[in-house]
Amino acid sequence: MKNLLATVSTFFLFFFVSSNCYSQTKLNSILNTTAFKRGDTLSFELNLSDSFRTIKTASIHLWIENISNGKKWHYKYPLINGYLKASLVIDSTITPGNYALNFLMQKNFFRIKGEVKNAFKKENQINYVLLSKNKDIVTGSLQLDIDKFFISDCMLFQDSTNLIFSRPNHKGIKLEIQLINELDSSFTVADSVTKFISIYDKQDTVNKNSKIFETYVFSEKDRLYKTTMQEVIVNAKSKKLVDDFQKDNVSGMFGGIDGTVIDGLESDEIAHAGNLFNFLTGKVAGLNIKTTDEGIEELVWRKHTTEIYIDEIKADPEMALDISLSDIAMIKIFEPGVPVSFGSASGGTIAIYLKKGIYAKENKPSNHFYINGYTGLNTIWK
């Protein structure tokens, strides 16, 4: 368990927790202070009473609310061995005023959970790949029960990740999965505690009235994850949707170099293709499919292997072929010799971007999902 605590403190890896994910709770909290200026760091510690220290894993949802106008921010953290310590740097965009910090405990820890809608009768296992923003790749398999449901052990990762499912066999038939994300849905609050802080521009700009705090009540109906999403308005008439997608999701050398873009958002050309590699070789002159001695198909360009990236993470050909074509938002193609990522690919580079956020259809059966993990233990409140 010491290794688990070390992982939480650095918070850069996926981690699997095999301990109890459920229990009764009693939550205590400590703040470093209650008066802040913008740019200060808000630190907080949460722990369970001694009689509840047998609890190994739980989740903390922090809802910060501006008491005067009701604006809310949502963060979620892992509670390990009954303890959490984290901090938020108060951004310059935060309005001076009185704020409520609502810490809500959820008995669930993050797990992959769902149902295979098109499982074969004798199918009892599925594979998955997690592709994180930190460029980590985690692979594994999950057992299916008699009703074709699956559930993983507790998992710990920061920020967000792409999750791709595939079959161990029947590779040509894509999975249709209904995913259940317990952390981002409504849940029963196991315990909660509210603290109040004030943010000042100058010492006399905020009326720190104790009566405001005494009458404050956090509304249970506001515990919907979607209320924390930033409003995004896309004007497709004046700008292509794929251009907005690139602005939001393409970074580094992938964005600094011109490449050929195939649109999967406003065009159904990719979605209606029968096979990804056949589609690409039909679109790109000189790009071909080669079968290795192990029977694995790969792309080659000018007799050199073509590098493949999924959401800017280097992937193997089999992983790319496991993607449902309807989940592809955009494909960006770079010719041989163009330097992408850490080097120059002699066989060119194919960058595949998956639909996510406002660009994805919510809650539809698929084999690809963009999911949110936990907030970093040191982040910015803005």
For residue 11 the two structure tokens come to: 């918070």
Place 342 in a pLDDT band, splitting at 50, 70 and 90. low
Cα separations in angstroms, 78 against 7, 105, 108, 129, 290? 11, 10, 10, 22, 45
Distance CA(373)–CA(355), nearest Å, equals: 17
pLDDT of res. 233? 36
Which residues touch 294 (CB under 8 Å, ≥6 apart)?
none
The strand pair at 149-151 and 191-200 is best described as unpaired
Residue type, 163: L
Q: What is the mean pLDDT of the chain?
A: 81
Residues comprising the chain, all counted: 382
How far apart CA 130 and CA 382 sit, in angstroms, is: 28
CB atoms within 10 A of CB 362: 7
The whole-angstrom separation of Cα 69 and Cα 73 is 13
Please determine, for residue 378, whether its predicted confidence score (pLDDT) is greater than 80: yes
**Sequential DSSP letters for 290-355:** EE-TTS-EEEEETTEEPEEEETTEEE-HHHHHTS-GGGEEEEEEE-TT-EETTEE-TT-EEEEEE-
Which letter does DSSP use for residue 82 in this model? T
pTM of the entire structure? Answer: 0.65
Residue 219 forms beta bridges with which residues? none
Task: Give residue 157's pLDDT.
Answer: 77
pLDDT digits over 228-260, tens only? 333 333 343 445 888 889 888 888 888 877 789
Among 180-184, 241-245, 271-275, the minimum mean pLDDT is found in 180-184
Instruction: Look at residue 4 in the predicted model and tell me its pLDDT.
Output: 40
Cα 326 to the center of its chain, rounded Å: 20
The Cα 350–Cα 307 span in angstroms is 6
Q: List, in order of start, the domains of the chain with CATH numbers.
A: 2-108+187-229 (2.60.40.1930), 113-184+366-372 (no CATH), 241-359 (2.170.130.10)
pLDDT tens figures, 277-287: 999 999 998 99
Helices vs strands, H then E, count in the chain: 6, 28
